[in-house]
Amino acid sequence: MSFSTMTGTERVLTVLHHQEPDRIPTFEWDIDVGVIKAMTGQESVEGFVEAMDHDAVITRPDYSKTPLGDNLYRNEWGVVIQKSPEHHDMPIHAQAPIKTWEDFERWQMPAADAPGRFETLKRYIQRFKGKKAIFIQTRDVFAHPRDLLGYEQFLVDCLQRPDLVRAIVDKTVEHSIRVVQIAAELGAEVVMTGDDIADKRSTLISPRVWENLFLPAFRRFVAGIHDAGLMYWKHSDGNLMKVMDGIVEAGIDGIDPVDPLAGMDLATFKQRWGSRVAIKGNVDCAYLLVTGSEEQVVKRVRECIRIAGLGGGYALSSSNTIHSGVRPELYRAMLRTLREDGVYPLKI
């Protein structure tokens, strides 16, 4: 084990400024409660973060849920959700709340400053401030219109009713910016968004539609984060190569997870964008951390350190989340190898 001279907060912020900390930091976008229990004997995210010595903790605003029966509930946005055995429940897109302009005009967006909205964030700040980087997770420009219109209809509307999509994007981005402002006032330090805009092949919409319909609001969102004094780590699964230049030029501070199964090559990212954005990832969690061997995990962690660690600006993590299929012993091997080989100056 290495002797640490920095706090997790200092480590993450150093990486976001493209410098070398004392060691490569690690944290996860999401962690399955079953894995937490298997590894720690309890179900607390806070306890897991401390036990695994993560360098950051991530939380969302607290939104209420209205039970509907049959494992369904309606969230504050009016979206009907199916509970999932995984941590992320799934919207029922056939019951999306906005189908017409009239629906949009009647639709009421949740108040960003509603009572109780930031109770979890306040708890995390009280426990971790100054020790671990405090992330607030919200949405940027893609996920809200997708869920409010229903996935299939949303993709059609990007071409047939772009004005409606743009109106939803503009309205919901204002909510996200206000969430960021309040979180900054409370003591958060970094914003993470999880809007997935791509699959393994390419973006889910054409690069032209992304640039015309979403990128202007995305730039406004990034500017709002920076105006609030926070930094921004953008998450998206899939192959982003066709739109990555525009995302970087919008001013993001970090990118996650550089999806290896989508052909997102870590060395390419480091070479092309590593001087402008921090990179997080990319130990494969779809196969390697599920069915691999400890030796294979050690090898991959060392490869990631060798490819992306030099010069700083890198946080090692899974290639997405620590989901229910991740084997605890493989995740421990990942963390152990990082602690041993991710110390600066790097020996690999």
> How far is the C-alpha of 207 from the C-alpha of 240, rounded, in Å?
10
pLDDT of residue 86: 73
CA distances, 177 to each of 196, 218, 230 (Å): 19, 11, 11
Nearest residue to 231 (alpha-carbon basis) of 195, 182, 180: 180
In this prediction, residues 242-259 reach a mean pLDDT of 96
- Backbone Cα Rg of the chain: 20
Percent of the chain predicted with pLDDT > 90: 95
Q: Write down the residue that tokens 């199916």 correspond to.
A: 82
How far, in whole angstroms, is CA 166 from its chain's centroid? 23
Question: pLDDT tens for residues 203-241?
Answer: 999 999 999 999 999 999 999 999 999 999 999 999 999
Q: Identify the three-state secondary structure at position 214.
A: helix
pLDDT of residue 2: 44
Confidence at 4, pLDDT banded by 50, 70, 90: low
pLDDT of residue 1: 38
pLDDT of residue 348: 78
Question: pLDDT tens for residues 133-178?
Answer: 999 999 999 999 999 999 999 999 999 999 999 999 999 999 999 9
> How far is the C-alpha of 148 from the C-alpha of 97, rounded, in Å?
6
In this prediction, residues 111-135 reach a mean pLDDT of 98
pLDDT of residue 84: 84
Q: Which residues is 281 bridged to in the sheet?
A: 316
pLDDT of residue 243: 97
How far, in whole angstroms, is CA 268 from its chain's centroid? 21
Among the residue ranges 41-45, 116-120, 259-263, the one predicted with the least confidence is 259-263
What number of residues does the chain have?
348
pTM for the full model? 0.95
pLDDT of residue 276: 97
In this prediction, residues 310-338 reach a mean pLDDT of 97
pLDDT of residue 88: 79
Mean of the per-residue pLDDT values of the chain: 96
Tell me phi and psi for residue 82, to 5 degrees: -95, 125
Q: Which phi-psi region, left, alpha or beta, contains residue 91 (left: φ > 0; alpha: ψ -120 to 50)?
A: beta
Question: pLDDT tens for residues 48-84?
Answer: 999 999 999 999 999 999 999 999 999 999 999 999 8
Question: pLDDT tens for residues 271-318?
Answer: 999 999 999 999 999 999 999 999 999 999 999 999 999 999 999 999
Percent of the chain predicted with pLDDT > 70: 99
pLDDT at 3 over 60: no
